[in-house]
Structure 1
């Protein structure tokens, strides 16, 4: 703020006269102009500007498709948050943690679940237009677009008739050990987002697939278990069932003899093809791996 020096001086000189003036004497007041300079503050820095926290859904999804996908994505966050919090509460010492991740440190596991919840989702996209022509095949409930668009996922019509919500956990004969880990929207979508570059960072992948294989991986290669997509899904399902759905009991189940034989023989069908190239996989549910391999189970 800057005052005129002359105006200030004139005012100062006039003060004694003003106070000394007899009662009734008119006092003349000088008009003083005050000039004030205000610096314009620079635009405030907002470090979080542009942070997309929710997974975008493409306009090709109609109202009912968008509603179901959006609810599934909400439950993906719910189950991921609980899995993260379970590890934050118990570290790497809980029975569930040791079963799935062995002796591995807990930090990476926490990080994967936290990425699903909090990482920037800019560019990650769920679409319904079957842009690569795979949805017509039997068993295709959706697929990662691979090299065509590494952050995009196509959801096929089969998803809307074959996926359950978390409120149905542990019902209809479901067990973690024997039922598909993609049967719930939450973990099916977890699988799909781990394929994307933005969330999975080309690190979360398929080192083991079945329940029995995942338990074996925890013992033999815990450093891979903490970034194994199926392990992260199974752990999330198991602790949600045990902590939330049926507290203290859950619905883990025991691997059936058929599952054990399947794990030993590693009979899952794997066909090396381009990620967006249709393949004949009738009667099986398929997805595409980060290396362009279509895996059907």
Structure 2
């Protein structure tokens, strides 16, 4: 009897334990990650990323100019990167810029490669009548339109691509700085106030020639070598030749003075005011940041300079 009672008790307990569990009334709180809607503004809205080309340029001219701009950017970007990597340890740097701080030439190359392209316009019409003059391949319009540069038809015939670096008898010391599309356009861009800011000019001057004048400026007045248009071009060309075109060799060349030109020849005068920023103003602005004496500016119409 006792055993029967125990069995019944166990059976009852099992039934209770096997019964349904009561559902508990539980409230779970959740937090939604709600982001506030904030107005956004593109910081560089209105930026101009490519060099503007005037409608006077036909399709072929536009293609060649765009290729030239790409090469100018390639030259400038590599020149900047060479300085960033080697600084004053680069013999090429000290050759053209002496002991000048690296920041200034880095800045000029960066403006050409990555700066905003507003305030710059390249056109192909002979609006000032200079392209009809013998030997003129283009010109900066000066006071007629300081932001504009005219590229004459001759440019499309004589400029070489960067692929021709160190070919066809070219070397840096004796070759023209405007032999290549890229270096020619760097020169023309530096005349435009939006790029050269009136600080980059032609400060190297010598009866012996442009190349030795640039080297002399680097030794004797490095402050202005760092903002000399020719030095900026020469350095970009030699760094590219040594690092990219013929690595470790380049084509620096040994300077040979040109033969004297016949007397009685005259350089045609442009029909524009030669400079929107007089030499005295540029030198004064530069002298404000340096105690070095400013050399005389040597930016005069010559050949296809403008």
The TM-score range, normalised by the shorter chain, is: 0.7 to 0.9
Partner of 1:35: none
Partner of 2:203: 207
Partner of 1:134: 130
Deviation at 1:290, TM superposition (A): 4.7
Partner of 2:83: 87
- SS of corresponding position for 2:301: strand
Count the aligned residue pairs.
244
**Does 2:50 correspond to 1:54?**
yes
Write the distance in 2 (CA, Å) between the matches of 1:236 and 1:247.
Answer: 14
Q: Is the 8 A contact 2:83 2:106 kept in 1?
A: yes
Partner of 1:220: 220
Q: Is the 8 A contact 1:269 1:295 kept in 2?
A: no
Partner of 1:147: 143
- SS of corresponding position for 1:194: helix
- Structure 1 residues 173-252: aligned runs within 5 Å: 173-208=169-204, 210-252=210-252
Deviation at 1:40, TM superposition (A): 8.7
- SS of corresponding position for 1:126: strand
Partner of 1:162: 158
Partner of 2:255: 255
Deviation at 1:119, TM superposition (A): 1.4
Residues 213 and 294 of structure 1: CA distance in aligned 2, closer, same or farther (over 3 Å): closer
Residues 150 and 257 of structure 1: CA distance in aligned 2, closer, same or farther (over 3 Å): closer
Partner of 2:110: 114
- SS of corresponding position for 2:79: helix
RMSD (Å) for aligned C-alpha atoms: 2.4
- 1:17-36 superposed Cα distances (whole Å, 9 cap, x missing partner): xx9xxxxxxxxxxxxxxxxx
Q: Is the 8 A contact 1:270 1:296 kept in 2?
A: yes
Write the distance in 2 (CA, Å) between the matches of 1:290 and 1:122.
Answer: 18
Write the distance in 2 (CA, Å) between the matches of 1:290 and 1:236.
Answer: 26
Partner of 2:302: 296
- 1:64-97 superposed Cα distances (whole Å, 9 cap, x missing partner): 0000000000000001000000000001221101
Deviation at 1:52, TM superposition (A): 0.8
TM-score between both structures, scaled by the size of structure 1: 0.77
Partner of 1:99: 95
Bigger strand fraction: 1
- 1:14-64 superposed Cα distances (whole Å, 9 cap, x missing partner): xxxxx9xxxxxxxxxxxxxxxxxx999453121111111211111110000
Write the distance in 2 (CA, Å) between the matches of 1:254 and 1:176.
Answer: 9
TM-score between both structures, scaled by the size of structure 2: 0.74
Write the distance in 2 (CA, Å) between the matches of 1:248 and 1:178.
Answer: 20
Mind listing any 5+ residue stretches in structure 1 that lack a counterpart? Answer: 1-18, 20-37, 263-267, 278-287
Q: From 59, 64, 74, give the equivalent of 1:63.
A: 59
Deviation at 1:123, TM superposition (A): 2.5
Q: From 71, 75, 92, give the equivalent of 1:75.
A: 71
Q: Is the 8 A contact 1:84 1:114 kept in 2?
A: yes
Write the distance in 1 (CA, Å) between the matches of 2:300 and 2:216.
Answer: 23
Q: Is the 8 A contact 2:143 2:275 kept in 1?
A: no
Deviation at 1:102, TM superposition (A): 0.6
